[in-house]
Amino acid sequence: MTTIPTPHDHGHHEGSYLTPPKGGFFAAVIQWATTVDHKKLGVMYTVAVLSLFMVGGLAALLVRVELWEPTRVVLNEAGEAVTTGQFFQLGKTPAENYTWYNRFFTIHGAIMVFLVIVPGVPATLGNFLLPLMLGAKDVAFPRLNLLSWYIYCTGALFAILSLINTGVDTGWTFYAPYSSSHAANTYNNVVLMTTAAFILGFSSILTGLNFIVTIHKLRCPGMGWFDMPLFVWAMYATSIIQVLATPVIGITLLLLIFERIFHVGIFDPAMGGDPVLFQHFFWFYSHPVVYVMILPGMGIASEMIAVHARKPIFGYRAIAFASLGIAGVGFLVWGHHMFTAMGELASTIFSALTFFVAIPTAVKVFNWIATLYKGSIAFNTPMLYALTFLFLFSIGGLTGLPLATLATDMHLHDSYFVVAHFHYVMMGGTIIAFIGGLHHWWPKITGKMYTEWVGMTGCIMVFIGFNVTFFTQFFLGTQGMPRRYASYIDEFQTLHQISTVGSMILGAGMFVQLGNFLHSIVAGKKAPPNPWGGLSLEWYADSPPSEHNFHHEPILTHGPYDYEDVYPPHCDPADFPLPEPLPAGAKHH
């Protein structure tokens, strides 16, 4: 283990990647704007993704506040329909209120899916960490990486243009024929929004391609496939899906744009199209992409749990293969989004296949929890997030079962039960893991420590707020509340109000986290290279890492999770004691 050179072996000290260039502000701007450094690109993506996360989150809060009360309509003296006694509404008349509600939930969904969760982890932490974890200087195609970034920016620009042009009210799923022939298309906002998603797809494909080649070709000497951290495995599985599935959504959205502009009858039966075809195309991409969203979250959870419990991940190979298994079977289950729209045979087959994808996911959760056994478990913000992830993701996974079961899905489909379920998976899984990962690698990325008690407080607020918001929605769904309703029958009001209160706590928790990060950048303590005692290669680099990550190409001599046998680099061995060494000749199980 001593053969891994540490930054201080050579006495000289290269500047970190954050060291500003000579020449002042504009030189720095140009340096960042033209950088091919995976770390700088990762940081820029992080800023963009978090900003858009805030926009999407505020749209969600508006939606929740509108749902505080049902829209009660009365006639005024002039005989016009107006709302009455509403605490908050998005428009003066019921019609305006509905229109704006529909736009806001679409903004929320489209931003969160296409601009935040799908690109989120791979583009931010993935970009930053993948080469570091592999012991490489950069990704395989650094210039392509820069191109991905600008494609992402272009896509985001189109999405924002579409929002400024009065927004889109189709829902993020753009179901035809509503989106192709019926939704209002002022200033071509629908075309702009679908173009945005189309462009963002290219960014996903190029990033995925880059990662696949990097993982195949740039592992440092001594690193076999099963010596890679599980985060890298997760990135690998994610990238495969991105490269294979994203072209389908590109084609689909292009067809939608053709139908919208040139009235080619593909999806709208009024022009000779097929009313369900769009859903097949859409979910053929968007279901695999559910795994693009969750696999990186699982990867982050694996890292955080192993480091903070100081244990090798239980069943490392099972988790690695489960990632690939999920990526494979994930292509075969898209039909479960359409149980209420397909024939009996198709629904039956897709229901059975859906249960298959449940198994590798369950196996992963068992492995993470088994990893805690006999560990040395630290209690800090990243670990708190990892536990929150396990708690919320377990609920998200288990509530998928009645949705995969045909008889119960026919009731729960398109209800708030589904809304709650996928928020537990997408937010309780991916976003929680992402924020946890940001805390975990924050010292590495910025070279600063965040304030621990504030981080924990924020995490607890998020945990409470999240559950109050979304657990109530399971009951709303089973009792009959449909999705995407601007108004509802009076019976549902209490549950809606509880949910809205929860969303405020959740939002406040998020702002606590943001404040903590900003404070740390301005006034945080300097971070040591390895604050958690991690063993994967990123912890061998400086905090923040130097321009070229490592001063010498690392040579791997131990696995990423050999916490029972290897002292972590840059750490005082007394802080991270090891158990008795195994007797000579004894083997690990």
Name the residue nearer to another protein (CB basis): 314 or 441.
314
- Among 485, 487, 481, residue whose Cα is nearest residue 84: 487
Name the residue nearer to another protein (CB basis): 140 or 329.
329
SS3 of 411-479: the string is HHCCEHHHHHHHHHHHHHHHHHHHHHHHHHHHHHHHCECCCHHHHHHHHHHHHHHHHHHHHHHHHHHHH
Please report how close the Cβ of residue 491 comes to another protein at its closest, in angstroms.
Answer: 7
CA distances from 576 to 370, 371, 441, 463 (A): 21, 18, 19, 30
Cβ neighbours for 456, distance < 8 A, ≥ 6 positions apart: 380, 381, 384
Name the residue nearer to another protein (CB basis): 103 or 439.
103
Question: What is residue 81's three-state secondary structure?
Answer: strand
Please report how close the Cβ of residue 577 comes to another protein at its closest, in angstroms.
Answer: 4
Q: Would you give the distance in Å from CA 122 to the centre of its chain?
A: 8
Name the residue nearer to another protein (CB basis): 246 or 415.
415
CA 47, 48, 50, 55 torsion-angle sign? positive
**AA identity, residue 343:** G
Helix (H) or strand (E) holding 587: none
Q: For residues 170 and 190, give the distance between their C-alpha atoms in angstroms, rounded to a whole number.
A: 8
CA distances from 219 to 6, 78, 135, 230, 563 (A): 18, 74, 6, 14, 21
Please report how close the Cβ of residue 479 comes to another protein at its closest, in angstroms.
Answer: 5
Name the residue nearer to another protein (CB basis): 37 or 169.
169
CA 372, 433, 145: angle at the middle one, nearest 5?
A: 125
CB 141 within 8 A of CB 41: no
Please report how close the Cβ of residue 48 comes to another protein at its closest, in angstroms.
Answer: 29
Name the residue nearer to another protein (CB basis): 408 or 457.
408
CB 365 within 8 A of CB 310: no
Please report how close the Cβ of residue 350 comes to another protein at its closest, in angstroms.
Answer: 11
Question: What is residue 570's three-state secondary structure?
Answer: coil
Please report how close the Cβ of residue 325 comes to another protein at its closest, in angstroms.
Answer: 11
CB 206 within 8 A of CB 147: yes
Please report how close the Cβ of residue 242 comes to another protein at its closest, in angstroms.
Answer: 27
Buried residues in 296-310 as b, exposed as e (16+ CB within 10 A): bbbbbbbbbbbbbbb
Rounded to 5 degrees, what are φ and ψ at 526? -65, 135
Name the residue nearer to another protein (CB basis): 114 or 339.
339
Please report how close the Cβ of residue 275 comes to another protein at its closest, in angstroms.
Answer: 4
CB 480 within 8 A of CB 524: no
Name the residue nearer to another protein (CB basis): 406 or 454.
406
Please report how close the Cβ of residue 447 comes to another protein at its closest, in angstroms.
Answer: 25
Please report how close the Cβ of residue 489 comes to another protein at its closest, in angstroms.
Answer: 7
The single-letter DSSP state of residue 219 is P
Q: For residues 411 and 478, give the distance between their C-alpha atoms in angstroms, rounded to a whole number.
A: 8
**AA identity, residue 429:** G
Name the residue nearer to another protein (CB basis): 474 or 517.
474
Please report how close the Cβ of residue 213 comes to another protein at its closest, in angstroms.
Answer: 30
CA 125, 129, 131, 134 torsion-angle sign? negative
Name the residue nearer to another protein (CB basis): 44 or 419.
419
Name the residue nearer to another protein (CB basis): 9 or 491.
491
Q: For residues 375 and 379, give the distance between their C-alpha atoms in angstroms, rounded to a whole number.
A: 12
